[in-house]
Amino acid sequence: MNSKRIAVVVFSGGQDSTTCLVQALQQFDEVHALTFDYGQRHSQEIEVAKILAKQLGATAHKIMDVALLNELSPSALTRDSIPVDTGLKDLPNTFVPGRNILFLTLAGIYAYQIGAQTVITGVCETDYSGYPDCRNDFVQALEKALVLGMDRPLELRTPLMWLDKAETWGLADHYGALALVRDETLTCYNGQIGSGCGECPACQLRANGLAQYQADKATYLEQVKHKCELD
């Protein structure tokens, strides 16, 4: 039986998934980054993911073609012709129906093939953008379905689920990666690396969280340290 602790990180090269990758590399013997190419609005996301996975030292980085999702789920993230909503609302047009259902299912299959016990995703219910497939109930339900469907233990780990954006910055800082996450990740819906366009909802959440973190860094670091110890 393989005694190595192996994890698969669903990795987009954005703030959240990069923070998850940084943490996983400290916690597992092998960490495989898995990036999905679904014809997303800004294809440079994949190039950023390639660079970061190599730079951070992932055991392997697989890019999986899931172009069918683009055909089935038109949204502002899969169609250049659909302007990105600039305001925060219940279900923004950047929601890609079925994306996390597909991504986590495929990540579970990939984990089965390489003998990984854990799939890690950066979804978050505290500071999420109204996406129903980022909720804890959804992740728990899908984990149960994957375990039943493949008849093998599998954990869907969500280290950011109960962190707000300020705490997520604190987690990156806790692992010495704040500057890398701040300057080299791609979170912006308009495809701008680092601080981004400053206007889209993703950039607003990111910037507000960073400002909150910097205003009370010591408190947030202590909160993150405590939560990491609980994990």
pLDDT number for residue 83: 47
Tell me the C-alpha distance between 202 and 188, whole Å: 6
Q: Is 16 annotated as a binding residue?
A: yes
pLDDT number for residue 211: 97
pLDDT number for residue 136: 94
Q: Is 3 annotated as a binding residue?
A: no
Q: Is 209 annotated as a binding residue?
A: no
Q: Is 43 annotated as a binding residue?
A: no
pLDDT number for residue 76: 44
DSSP string, 61-95: EEEEE-THHHHH--STTT-TTSPPP-S--SS-TT-
pLDDT number for residue 141: 97
**HSE-up (13 A, CA, CB side) for residue 106:** 20
pLDDT number for residue 228: 75
Classified as helix, coil or strand, 36 is strand
Q: Is 197 annotated as a binding residue?
A: yes
pLDDT number for residue 132: 86
Q: Is 17 annotated as a binding residue?
A: yes
Q: Is 87 annotated as a binding residue?
A: no
Per-residue pLDDT of the chain (231 residues; tens, 9 = 90+): 458 999 999 999 999 999 999 999 999 999 999 999 987 766 788 999 999 999 999 999 999 998 887 666 555 444 455 445 555 456 655 566 788 999 999 999 999 999 999 999 999 987 656 678 889 999 999 999 999 999 999 999 999 999 999 999 999 999 999 999 999 999 998 889 999 999 888 899 999 999 999 999 999 999 888 877 666
Neighbouring residues of 187: CB distance < 8 A, sequence distance ≥ 6: 14, 15, 16, 196, 202, 203, 206
Q: Is 117 annotated as a binding residue?
A: no
Tell me the C-alpha distance between 137 and 195, whole Å: 31
Q: Is 73 annotated as a binding residue?
A: no
Closest CA to 64 of 79, 46, 48: 46
Q: Is 20 annotated as a binding residue?
A: yes
Q: Is 134 annotated as a binding residue?
A: no
Q: Is 81 annotated as a binding residue?
A: no
Neighbouring residues of 7: CB distance < 8 A, sequence distance ≥ 6: 24, 27, 28, 30, 31, 32, 116, 117, 118, 119, 120, 157
pLDDT number for residue 1: 47
Strand residues in the chain grouped as ranges (E) = 6-10, 30-37, 60-65, 118-120, 155-157
Q: Is 13 annotated as a binding residue?
A: yes
